[in-house]
Amino acid sequence: MIGKGRISPLRWVFFILLGVGLVVLCCYLAAGRGAAAAARVEGESIYEADAPKAGMPEPFIGGLILLTPEQMARVPLADGFEWPCGTQEGGMVYDAQPYGAENAKRGGKHSGCDLNGIGGENTDLGEPVYAAARGMVVYSGKPSEEWGNVVVLAHRLPGEDSIIQTLYAHLDTRDVSLGTMVHRGRRIGSIGTAGGRYMAHLHFEVIQSRCTEAGMPGYHPAGGMNRLNPADVIARFPAPKHPDAYDAVRSLRIREAYLSRSQTAQPATTPVPEGTIPVNPSQFITP
């Protein structure tokens, strides 16, 4: 029997366990606050861990979106790259501000090249802009007033299992929509001024990324970041001299696939439209 005023052993055990639990909880909370403080040195965010503060746009661009697995699977294989305006070899235009050119006023090195008509100023306003390679439209819009109309194409590199993008900015018009498959040399827009902000020219970039990066800075203090020199890419993967028949062949196969499906649900005596070219059904490309 326990005397009056004395605490039972079970209660002592309870108080000891309670005290140990409070000590452990306090240590856990203190460790969590310390880790959060270490990850937040001088107010840095997770985005600043990958790039200098001066290289990040303000505000953060919502167009920086990772390509979906479906988009990456649909990106066609390019047969080579060519210049997007002027002649296929880049004639009738000049590079007014080459890739990597220093521009302290705008914050660093140029991330693309500015292609101008040889007449200078606005003589090339409205001139066509062509797809530099066979690809898929992964962005078509206006990320900001400074960028104006922008089209971005994704391409699968020949001989490599990798995807790069080409960006066409300051356009007067955009002639393609999101998800469109385009052949090399197809018109995708026209040269513009970004709503009168600049003299007419095409800002052209090659980007090694799986995000749609429309609206990201056109200059960077440390260089091109994930931008590639367009001239180097075109020299490394030169386009053949003949036109790209990708769109024509794809349309034909889609048409034949449609006709084949239609005929399976109809009597065998249904006449085949004149001009139809029979092809192996295993080669059909569905829309």
Candidate ranges 158-172, 211-225, 259-273; pick with highest mean pLDDT: 158-172
**136 vs 184: CA distance, rounded Å:** 11
Report residue 64: phi and psi, to 5°: -80, 80
pLDDT confidence of 49, banded at 50, 70, 90?
A: very low
Mean pLDDT check: name the lowest of 40-44, 84-88, 180-184. 40-44
H/E run at residue 17: helix 9-38
> pTM, whole model, 2 decimals?
0.68
Mind listing the domains of the chain with CATH numbers? 54-236 (2.70.70.10), 246-283 (no CATH)
**148 vs 136: CA distance, rounded Å:** 20
* Amino acid 219: pLDDT: 81
Residue pLDDT, tens place only, 7-20 = 677 777 777 777 77
SS3 8: coil
SS3 122: coil
H/E run at residue 64: none
Bridge pairing between strands 163-174 and 108-110: unpaired
